[in-house]
Structure 1
């Protein structure tokens, strides 16, 4: 009887150790930074770039969706540069107040359209972000179709007079 009880206790200890002990060997996913959305992110000095992506219907004009989180007390002008199909560098900019987040491209946010590009849905499109004298970074933004949560965020045609 004692042997059976001891064997049961050992078996329970092995099962508990085997099923919970694996967490000592595996890395914690919560300790790794990753982009938990469709867009990508990076850090430029005091600016955290979050969920940057493009939404397009025709592949020639795309809405930029991006969140710029300024962690400094001072406002900055973030430059966004891209190359159009004519091989011309196009510069756009977004002002971000100190200690705040600039939301661009959402339903109730400022709109920024990249025009004259070749970026069909499913591709990656290069943009260069920089501000002040902080070294800039080139990002390859995912280009998405205006489906699901991105429906209605694509650029709309400008009415002609």
Structure 2
């Protein structure tokens, strides 16, 4: 009787390990952070900057598209530098979210489109950008430049 009980327990443990053991040893792709859209993400201090991209048909002027979430308790002025040192400043209040380059999004601050002039980067290439604000270490990132061929970007071409 004890032998049957021990055999049953060993079989149950073997089945449980066999059915779940792969997840203990196998790489889990779902644990990797990635950008699920066309843009890229940047973290600068207390700011989460998501889905950053530039839309331009001619490679001269481009519309900046991104979402900035301020997780901090202070208002900040995010400086975005591009090209030969040109920059744009975007105010982000504490605990709020600013969405650039899309139609009105409920619950976010409305901001006029930000047009970057003289980007000198053709669609399909990357525009180096530097993101910083006072009190946080800046981050440089290669930002994709897209054109207006896709319907979601056609109204963003400057």
| TM norm. shorter chain > 0.5 | yes
Partner residue in 2 for 1:6:
none
- Runs of 5+ consecutive residues of structure 2 not aligned to the other structure: 1-10, 105-110
* Number of residues of Structure 1 aligned to a counterpart in Structure 2: 139
**1:113 shift after superposition:** 0.8
Quote the Cα distance in structure 1 between the aligned partners of 2:73 and 2:145: 32
Q: Secondary structure at the match of 1:38?
A: coil
Equivalent positions of 1:112-151 (< 5 A) are 112-146=114-148, 147-151=150-154
Q: Deviations over 1:69-91 (max 9, x none)?
A: 100121100001112xxxx4212
3-state SS, counterpart of residue 117 of structure 1: coil
Cα pair distance change 1:24/1:148, threshold 3 Å? farther
Partner residue, 1:102: 98
Question: TM-score, length-normalised on structure 2?
Answer: 0.79
Give the TM-score taking structure 1 as reference length: 0.78
RMSD: 2.0
1:106 Cα deviation from its structure 2 partner: 1.2
Secondary structure of the residue aligned to 1:149 is coil
**Cα shift at 1:21:** 4.1
- With over 3 angstroms needed to count, the CA separation of the structure-2 counterparts of 1:19 and 1:124, relative to structure 1, is farther
Unaligned 5+ runs, structure 1: 1-9, 156-161
Q: Check if 1:74 corresponds to 2:74.
A: yes
Q: Partners in 1 of 2:71 and 2:118 — Cα distance?
A: 33
Query: Pairwise mapping of residues 6-85 of structure 1 onto structure 2 (< 5 A)?
Result: 21-83=21-83
Structure 2: how far apart are the matches of 1:125 and 1:75?
A: 27
Q: State the Cα distance separating 1:48 from its structure 2 match.
A: 0.7
